[in-house]
Structure 1
């Protein structure tokens, strides 16, 4: 988020203002019902009521409709403007952040040692640099700001409702702790399941990449059926993990719907009864019915947001695993022109401890001289050549280029001339 924090902060301010002005519009409806139908006077009216009265609202329903409609349009227009600004600023900030992550990942991969790339699955690396970065970008562009919208809606709605009727406000908020608690439990479960699904997708991508890049070998050795079965196993594993993820999401939506409809029914029953008894006005009852609907559905959408948050958490971890890998350490600074004299002095090398590939190798090659290195597969021919440009460093002994140890040569400069 470095470099985009200001724009992202502005998007949060915009969503707060959009939520605030959007919640003022039902206040207009309450005033029309209470003054126009309930025949209440303007004494003690809110500032919106005073504006309607100053615009010629009077006390008759016909006189109220035109100024009330005009104020409603203005309020929703302002809310819509801030929603547009929120979407624009958050999208720009998210795209810029994703670009920075991709550039940093690519630069870091370029500076990792050769051994890392030999062992890493190319398909998995591609997925982390594309799919995982896109997951983060999508979350930052939409879901992260929606968290702010839900928080601001709860705060503003609670304040506006409590200013009218505190007992009914407590009743309206009764189910919110249960919804939030259930959402948090869902987040913990879905994060682990998505992590498993994402790892399966990485293995699937790696299998596909290896098969396509090695298709000539597959055809040459008639291994098509084996590779098809191998891909089908990975694909089935990925499908099963996704089924589990979908099942969790289905459970969340069904239970959260039950909680939300229970809350709405409770408010409508109590609010309607109190309005019939005269404890609250008709306009206040309608206002509470409207607010509870506007409040609960964004809160209910927290399930989708939490799902994306779980995915984003996993994607961040997978990307951080790459960034935590140590880069090549430069040990030399010699950058002279290489003439071509190569000398191996008692060089030994192993990939794994106790399994030597080269053992006590010594020879000299003069500039311009051509030699042939012969041996069966796995005897260390490629390894020997890879030691010259320091793709690996010897386990013992030393290699000299023009009489200077490769440890003292600048690694990048040496590779430009040796490879």
Structure 2
């Protein structure tokens, strides 16, 4: 029930619509309840007085009441659907906003397909519940209560016979509801898993085809689809077992009413018209009775979906903006990592006692093997994660004391895995600065050496790049990402392997353009190219989460150790290859 109450909480902002829906419902119900009474009174009037003209007036009244009821029913149906759509809208927005505010640590553990399933299929299940159960269930309860009241006032004994089966159906409904909730929860989990498989296989379709794994992916998808079908069949079996019992009870009660009511008519304690009323009211109860199973199914499905949705809404982000956080304005770019340690969940430390001071405008190169902690360090600066020990300071202020928006506005990062949206090149460059002018966008593109290429395309900056920038090469996407970061004009710049996807000549062009900009920015570069490393003011060599060496290129070469090993195995061969390529171009 707690989950259902939370779902109903999304109706609070729409109290007026809820009130209007219930007014329409009550009006429709009262008019519906009046019809059998009118028919019964008409029959008794004709039988008692023999005046058949009364049937004309009764028929006209029935038609009139039905037309008025149709108006109420229209508004009730429309408002029901409107409320369900508004609830779905509110839940989807709440989920999306919450997911956008969750930290990297949360998303590291989530499956995209599961999140997509909850935002679509689970929300739709709740929408159906609100539309067909919340208001409609109140209508059915009101109808049953109204019928029971009229029956009791007419003949209490026959009313008890008529209504005796309802408690049995309610008890059985509660039992079936508990069983359905468990099965529906499993079904929704299978739906999420199926969505995950579909999302991964389509996103990685090139890999699937390159390794000829279409059959494998097909079997994986088919297996999970089969599991989902099995869960739905379990639901069908539970529902199917309920319907025959409901039909039997209803038929049995109809027979009892005819038998008992007929005896009452013969005894003179009940008029023929009143017996007709009872039969019509019993027929009126048939729809609510048959709807009980459907409502239980909707409620069980909504509870299962609500449980999955509230798992997201109740999730707490490890990175939160504290009350009273201050804005980071007009910074110089002085960065200090003070005895910083970090671990992912309960895993061993990824960073251990990292201490380094970076002056404004300095360029810091981070080197080390995969998993040594290079990317983790730069992810701590904009608070994608929070340190588990020590402090990260910018201009003397702990980043945990700053507003996230002002912090991230001052820290620009070019990710190693460049993500471009399905939009125009201009929109992708201006993604972080939506009010940027065309001149500013072109300036950023020129600095990243992308302008000439863009102008050579048929639609220039309005060229559509496709999903994830599929129409651009790796180097072109890299330069669009650099332009996107530069347009924000951050005081701290992070280049996460930012030129690893371009050739030597293009890298040289980009580096030339960036050198002037780096003079006024504190820059962290995760790079494997000697051209970038040699020009750094400070090189940090990481090994197993610790700073193994620090200094300039010349200082570290003189020291020997891990840096010299990286230089001999990786950097020096690159330098020789670059020199050979340059000599070849000069000769040609």
Task: Give the TM-score, by structure 2 length.
Answer: 0.63
Q: Secondary structure at the match of 1:359?
A: strand
CA contact (8 A) 1:128 1:318 kept: yes
CA shift, 1:378, in A, is: 2.6
Structure with bigger RCO (C-alpha 8 Å, 6+ apart): 1
Tell me which moved more, 307-316 or 6-15.
6-15
CA contact (8 A) 2:337 2:356 kept: yes
CA shift, 1:299, in A, is: 2.3
C-alpha offsets along residues 143-181 of structure 1, whole Å, 9 cap, x if unaligned? 212211221122221222233322221211121211222
Cα RMSD of the aligned pairs, angstroms, is 2.3
Selected match of 2:140 from 146, 150, 166:
150
Structure 1: stretches of 5+ with no match in the other structure: 42-58
Structure 2: stretches of 5+ with no match in the other structure: 1-10, 413-588
CA shift, 1:116, in A, is: 0.7
1:418 counterpart = 2:411: yes
CA contact (8 A) 2:28 2:69 kept: yes
Q: Secondary structure at the match of 2:337?
A: strand
1:263 counterpart = 2:263: no
1:329 counterpart = 2:320: yes
CA contact (8 A) 1:15 1:149 kept: yes
Q: Rg: which structure is higher?
A: 2
Selected match of 1:2 from 12, 16, 27:
12
CA contact (8 A) 2:321 2:402 kept: no
Aligned to 1:376: 369
Selected match of 1:60 from 38, 51, 69:
51
1:319 counterpart = 2:329: no
CA contact (8 A) 1:204 1:231 kept: yes
CA shift, 1:94, in A, is: 2.7
Distance of 2:164 and 2:400 partners within structure 1? 70
Aligned to 2:349: 356
Aligned to 2:387: 394
Selected match of 2:80 from 78, 90, 101:
90
Q: Secondary structure at the match of 1:348?
A: strand
* Aligned residues between the structures: 399
CA contact (8 A) 1:4 1:97 kept: no
1:18 counterpart = 2:28: yes
Selected match of 1:120 from 110, 117, 125:
110
Distance of 2:340 and 2:45 partners within structure 1? 96
CA contact (8 A) 1:16 1:148 kept: no
Distance 1:277 1:339, change over 3 A: same
Aligned to 2:149: 159
Distance of 2:345 and 2:153 partners within structure 1? 72
Q: Secondary structure at the match of 1:374?
A: strand
CA contact (8 A) 2:246 2:289 kept: no
Task: Give the TM-score, by structure 1 length.
Answer: 0.87
